[in-house]
Structure 1
Amino acid sequence: MIELRDIHKSFGTNHVLRGVNLSVAKGESLVIIGGSGTGKSIALKCILGLVKPDSGQISVGGSDVNTGDRDTFLARFGMLFQGGALFDSLPVWQNVGFRLLRGALKRPHDEARAIAVEKLRRVGLKPDVADKFPAELSGGMQKRVGLARAICADPDIIFFDEPTTGLDPIMAGVINELIREIVVEMGATAMTITHDMTSVRAIADKVAMLHNGIIQWTGPVTDLDNSGDPYLDQFIHGRADGPIEAVR
């Protein structure tokens, strides 16, 4: 479904991606791990076309991301943002149904609201939440609203950017379970960025570690603890000593 071939991206003298090769099969849940500033978010932005690589090729569904209609291309994606990224001035249901109220996916007002309420139900929120504003919700509820928005248009591909950031361990577990259930239920292809190893083990089919601008290791989540890769081993166990130099 998604393939990156020899992707390079630099910002001045900062060489972020130095030849990334990565493939994600249809219906697969891939989690990208790696230290802060290693280019995980840049890789996602390159796939979406928000950042243009300096060289290399990216294809989605077998087609180059730079060809075809832009709106049609983006309609295939859903996104759960790290900080929720809800619109404070809009009620919850309009946040969830944002894409259904405008653009290529526009639906009648009442239909968009009904779909939004159904997606809220799917993530465990009652209909009365629909008319509240984000500021009236807890952090966990806001994250659920963000997840409902990500799946509202039934996308083929969903990106999750640090989905459990700012949540307590119990709520993080709830969100991880919801993500796994929804991805399997929808048959969607998923790419997740996270530092939370509990999330990795809960939602990943495959794991890729991005380090020093390349994919250092990739494999099934079941091989994490027996990879034989010193970089991966240091990262997943949070050790200060190892081939990855900690910034002190």
Structure 2
Amino acid sequence: MTDANPPAPSRIALKGVRKSFGPKHVLRGVDLDVAKGESMVIIGGSGTGKSVTLKCVLGIIEPDAGEILINGARATARNREALLSRFGMLFQGGALFDSMLVWENVAFRMRHGAHRRPRAEAREIAIEKLRRVGLTPETADLFPAELSGGMQKRVGLARAIATDPEIIFFDEPTTGLDPIMAGVINELIRELVTEIGATAMTITHDMTSVRAIADRVAMIHEGEIRWQGAVGELDATEDPYVSQFIHGRAEGPIAAIR
């Protein structure tokens, strides 16, 4: 009998991913599936393996064991460049080039990567993406240092969506922002991911962001996926690690381990 509602195919799949740095075992067998068009948010405390997981998917770090599949194909050093051309990334600190104008930052991949476009066309696209994140065309000819932190984050977001990527990664997208601007960025992320039809993978410890942008949530603890499920199930879980983390309690199994 055919399932009337078959599960969406995995856009990203991690199977038994392990990574150590000397004697420190950071990832101890991470298994995770992110469906096409899904917004997956990975939560967990500092040093639990969130960033290393993200870097493994991006190909910045090579796992010691296990495999990572993108659209069903194994990600390897050989096909890394082709995979990167389909990714977008919003970095935690913005990672804008200080010596480049805002539009040049947004259009960087269109001028230097596989999506190379003529300068005038790249600028036009960059201005349109800036408009999409709520910035005026006049912003295009400023330098990053002339912008507020919230505006810099928007520029980073415009750059992440500049080539209409299949997959977008967000590394602590609201770090350093006040609550109002963080809310604006969360709303923009949700709108843009839906509009583009992209798959999103976010790492954060900001529970407001989690509730705003996630379809599904996975908690990583001691290098393993401790819990995963729909964002609406997060508050109802009886897992003591998840409960302690999402409510910010000082007492609990995580504190006991530390």
SS at match of 2:126: helix
TM-score of the pair, normalised by structure 1? 0.98
Does the 8 A contact of 1:78 with 1:155 survive in 2? Answer: yes
Question: Which SS does the other structure have where 2:253 is aligned?
Answer: coil
User: Residue in 1 aligned with 2:215?
Assistant: 205
Moved over 6 A (4+): none
Question: Equivalent residue for 2:206?
Answer: 196
Matches of 1:181 and 1:138, distance apart in 2: 22
Aligned to 1:227: 237
- Native 8 Å contact 2:59 2:77 kept in 1: no
Aligned mates of 1:247, 1:179 — CA distance in 2: 34
TM-score by length of 2: 0.94
**Distance apart, 1:67 and its partner CA:** 6.6
Give the aligned partner of residue 65 of structure 2. Answer: 55
CA RMSD between the two structures: 1.1
**Residue 247 of structure 1: CA displacement?**
8.4
Q: Could you say which residue in structure 1 is the equivalent of 2:7?
A: none
- TM-aligned CA distance change 1:114 to 1:246, over 3 Å: farther
Is residue 9 of structure 2 the alignment partner of residue 25 of structure 1?
no
The alignment status of 1:167 with 2:177, answered yes or no, reads yes
Aligned residue for 2:28, secondary structure, equals: strand
The structure-2 alpha-carbon separation of the partners of 1:246 and 1:91, relative to structure 1 and needing over 3 Å to count, comes to: farther
Change (3 A) 1:221 1:37: same
For 1:52 and 1:164, the matched residues in 2 are separated by 27
Aligned to 1:135: 145
The 1-side partners of 2:46 and 2:246 are apart by 14
What is the Cα deviation at residue 49 of structure 1? 1.1
Question: Partner residue of 2:18?
Answer: 8
Residue of structure 1 aligned with 2:117, choices 107, 110, 119: 107
Q: CA separation of 1:229/1:247 partners in 2, compared to 1, >3 Å: closer, same or farther?
A: closer
CA distance in 1 between partners of 2:59 and 2:82 (Å) = 13
How many Å separate the matches in 1 of 2:138 and 2:96? 18
User: Where does the alignment leave 5 or more consecutive residues of structure 1 unmatched?
Assistant: none
Which is worse superposed, 189-198 or 63-72? 63-72
Q: Contact conserved, 1:48 with 1:65, CA < 8 A, in 2?
A: no
In structure 2, what is the Cα distance between the partners aligned to 1:178 and 1:35?
A: 25
Q: Say if 2:14 and 2:31, in contact at 8 Å, map to a contact too.
A: yes
Distance 1:23 1:108 in 2: 37
Helix, strand or coil at the partner of 1:104 = coil
Instruction: Please report how far the alpha carbon of residue 246 of structure 1 lies from its aligned counterpart in structure 2 after TM superposition.
Output: 6.5
Q: Match of 1:241? A: 251
Q: Structure 2 unaligned runs (5+)?
A: 1-10
1:147 equivalent in alignment to 2:181: no
How far 1:180 sits from its partner (Å)?
0.2
Query: Quick one: distance in 2 between partners of 1:246 and 1:92?
Result: 47
How many residue pairs align between the two structures?
248
Q: Distance in 2 between matches of 1:25 and 1:154?
A: 18
Q: Aligned partners of 1:15, 1:108: CA distance in 2, in Å? A: 46
Shift of 1:189: 0.2
Give the whole-Å Cα distance in 2 for the aligned partners of 1:105 and 1:42. 27
Cα distance, 1:40 vs. partner?
A: 0.6
Instruction: Write the deviation string for residues 109-144 of structure 1: whole angstroms up to 9, x where unpaired.
Output: 000000000000000000000000000000000000
Aligned to 1:218: 228
Change (3 A) 1:69 1:17: closer
Report % sequence identity. 71
Amino acid at match of 1:170: I
- Residue 133 (structure 2) pairs with residue 119 (structure 1): no
Q: Give the deviation of 1:42 after TM superposition.
A: 0.6
